Amino acid sequence: MPLTLFGSRGSGSAAVEMALRAASVEYQLVRASSWEADSALERLLEVNPLGQIPTLRLEDGTVLTESAAILIHLGLEHPASGLLPTVSIARAMDIRGLVYIAANCYSAVSVSDFPEQWTTATTKPAQTKVRDAARAQLHQKWNVFSDVFGTRLRPSEPGALAFLAVVVSQWSGTRQHLKNERPSFYETLLQLEAHPRLAATLREHRDA
Ligand SMILES: N[C@@H](CCC(=O)N[C@@H](CS)C(=O)NCC(=O)O)C(=O)O
């Protein structure tokens, strides 16, 4: 049985699709998300009680969630794919970057997307304040990512870190922020988007 990727258009599953393709791994895509009632949400909830994507079911039925964990697993399983550097210290830094994005950026996007879940306030203005604060935090975390990891993204041979950085930085006003605050990193992200390892998947996620 091929791997099954639960995902949806414009979501973080794009980064995992890029990785599966880079590693030439066969997979079937199941459209599922908590915000699409007509999707395979019930099936997703059976394997991931959080109902989050990306969720990847491996050949033997093992379920992987958490984009950083999925990308690290694929990189380690397919060392020739270039998803992770082969040199130990460089690999450790890329893993640090992947976990950094998941812990600091992806989490802030969740607050920005669903502020009502992060406050007991029920009024719209109060929830908007939560969203605005989450976005300010998110943008600050991207500044630091740019300063610490920006040169690791290897536009000529992008790997898992570049995939996750490009996908997660598309959301919550991050690109506009980076364009103003970290223009050179912003240009690197655009360069990466045009790379064949990313371009087709990004196009499908935009046009699907
Ligand atoms: N910690 C997870 C977060 C995944 C996540 O929040 N995915 C979003 C889509 S991009 C989602 O499914 N959100 C719906 C929800 O939380 O209900 C990861 O790093 O993969």
Query: What pLDDT is stored for residue 207 in this prediction?
Result: 82
Query: What pLDDT is stored for residue 1 in this prediction?
Result: 74
Q: Given 34, 65, 81, which residue is the final one in a domain? A: 81
Residues 13, 47, single domain; the answer is yes
Query: What pLDDT is stored for residue 208 in this prediction?
Result: 65
Number of structural domains the chain divides into: 2
First to last CA, the chain: 25
Residues 58, 118, single domain; the answer is no
12 CB near ligand 1 (under 6 Å)? yes
Residues 95, 196, single domain; the answer is yes
Residues 77, 39, single domain; the answer is yes
Cα of 87 to ligand 1 centre, how many Å?
Answer: 30
Residue nearest (by alpha carbon) to ligand 1 atom 12: 52
Residues 102, 158, single domain; the answer is yes
Q: Given 59, 81, 103, which residue is the final one in a domain? A: 81
97 token code pair: 């970057």
Residues 195, 92, single domain; the answer is yes
Residues 119, 195, single domain; the answer is yes
Residues 99, 170, single domain; the answer is yes
Question: In terms of pTM, does the model score above 0.85?
Answer: yes
Q: What does the alpha-carbon distance between residue 149 and residue 26 come to, in Å, rounded to a whole number?
A: 30
53 CB near ligand 1 (under 6 Å)? yes
Note whether residue 207 is domain-resident: no
Residue-wise pLDDT tens digits, 136-161: 999 999 999 999 999 999 899 999 99
pLDDT values of the chain reduced to their tens digit, one per residue, 208 residues: 799 999 999 999 999 999 999 999 999 999 999 999 999 999 999 999 999 999 999 999 999 999 999 999 999 999 999 999 999 999 999 999 999 999 999 999 999 999 999 999 999 999 999 999 999 999 999 999 999 999 999 899 999 999 999 999 999 999 999 999 999 999 999 999 999 999 999 999 998 6
Note whether residue 208 is domain-resident: no
Which residue range forms the structural domain that includes residue 49?
3-81
Cα of 48 to ligand 1 centre, how many Å?
Answer: 11
Note whether residue 206 is domain-resident: no
Q: Given 23, 55, 81, which residue is the final one in a domain? A: 81
Cα of 12 to ligand 1 centre, how many Å?
Answer: 7
Note whether residue 18 is domain-resident: yes
Q: Which of 39, 95, 106 to mutate to test the pocket of ligand 1 (most atoms within 8 A of CB)?
A: 106
Helix axes 196-207, 183-194, angle to 10 degrees: 90
Query: What pLDDT is stored for residue 18 in this prediction?
Result: 98
Residues 107, 155, single domain; the answer is yes
Cα of 54 to ligand 1 centre, how many Å?
Answer: 7
Residues 94, 121, single domain; the answer is yes
7 CB near ligand 1 (under 6 Å)? no
**Are the CB atoms for 83 and 22 separated by under 8 Å?**
yes
Q: What does the alpha-carbon distance between residue 11 and residue 54 come to, in Å, rounded to a whole number?
A: 8
Write the CB contacts of 200 (distance below 8 Å, at least 6 apart in sequence).
Answer: 21
**Are the CB atoms for 6 and 32 separated by under 8 Å?**
yes
Q: What is the CATH number of the domain that holds 9?
A: 3.40.30.10
The DSSP annotation for 171-201 comes to STTHHHHHHHH-HHHHHHHHHHHHSHHHHHH
11 CB near ligand 1 (under 6 Å)? yes
Residues in the chain: 208
